[in-house]
Homo-oligomer: A and B are copies of this chain.
Amino acid sequence: MVKAGIVGGTGYTGVELLRLLAAHPQVALQVITSRSEAGMPVADMFPNLRGKVDLCFSEPSVDELSHCDVVFFATPHGVAMKSAGELLDNGVKVIDLGADFRIKDIPEWEKWYGMQHTSHELVAEAVYGLPEVNREAIKQARLIACPGCYPTAVQLGFMPLLEQKLVDVKHLIADAKSGVSGAGRKANVGTLLCEASESMKAYAVPGHRHLPEIQQGLVQMANAQVGLTFVPHLTPMIRGIHATLYARLTSDVDLQSLYEQRYESETFVDVMPAGSHPETRSVKGANQCRIAIHRPQDGNTVVILSVIDNLVKGAAGQAVQSMNILFALDENTGLETIALLP
């Protein structure tokens, strides 16, 4: 059994991690910390966990966390970079669901996140936890930086095109739509039901923090400079990301076969039949990315549709997937849940 701890379990990625880890047959959940809620039973905050998780939130403590084999950080950026080092020194593996170790270019990170980074060497060491790209590196990692939700949907969608150099990489467009849970479980007027339901809007069009992360990934895939216009939208639903990706083809190949081959052995990426339109609800609660490829009117613009559950394949599920790889478990252990539909 893998002994697991969670730092910062009061948000939506936290409760999702709890849901997955509580049901994981090879994990023993040891500790979950929250400075603000120390002492409160986890199931008082998240009543779905009543009878399933008996833990109380506790004060963060390196000593206690060091008894774990792995510690997940489900914290706002700036937290993990302060505490991860000590845990690693104590032999604990660290999987960060936050943004601290995702971007290799530290000045770029500091520009977008508005704070100084205090762990340059850990950024260098961290493995970007997108198993479909970095499975081998994840096996050897001590520290894993889980991708953001948008970056997961967008990178998996573009990857085969970029790896095969089939599109004009200078003018990629990612129009992405996210459910409101992506904004987290914070008291905030903008994500009240009365503000965010029955409406649709774009946000952060001038620049979103996931842009440099996506670009870094695309550059690596394309092995070239990449130009990306990324427009996120807030959609009136709880879970789900739908990324609609546009690129201009520079050569002519069978895209359907290309995608099917690229993801043939990937359990968690489903290339749908030609002509499909994936729905976000088809992955609700499941660690799955579903992708469809279109070439409208046989023109030279390819349209990729890529859907995930932002809290699962976009966060907690992907973190567990990386944990499974790290501890040499079957990659889909504890991740076989079927999406909840309707």
Contacts and interface: CB of A to CB of B under 8 A. Distances in A.
A303 B340 CA distance: 31
Interface in A237-283: 237-240, 242, 244, 246, 248, 270, 272, 275, 277-283
**Which residue among A19, A22, A23, A341 has the maximum number of chain B CB atoms within 10 Å of its CB?**
A341
Contact of A342 (B52, B173, B238, B279): B238
Interface string A273-295: 00101111111111000100010
B244 A231 contact: yes
Contacts of A199: 237, 240, 279-281, 284
Contacts of A336: 23, 52
Nearest to A282: B47
Contacts of A282: 47-48, 50
A203 B277 contact: yes
A230 B205 CA distance: 20
A225 to B, nearest CB: 13
Nearest to A173: B246
A201 B242 contact: yes
A246 to B, nearest CB: 5
Contact of A200 (B48, B177, B188, B342): B177
Interface of A: 12, 15, 19, 22-23, 46-52, 171, 173, 175, 177, 179-181, 185-189, 191-203, 205-207, 227, 229-231, 233, 235-240, 242, 244, 246, 248, 270, 272, 275, 277-286, 290, 294, 296-297, 299, 301, 303, 305, 307, 336-342
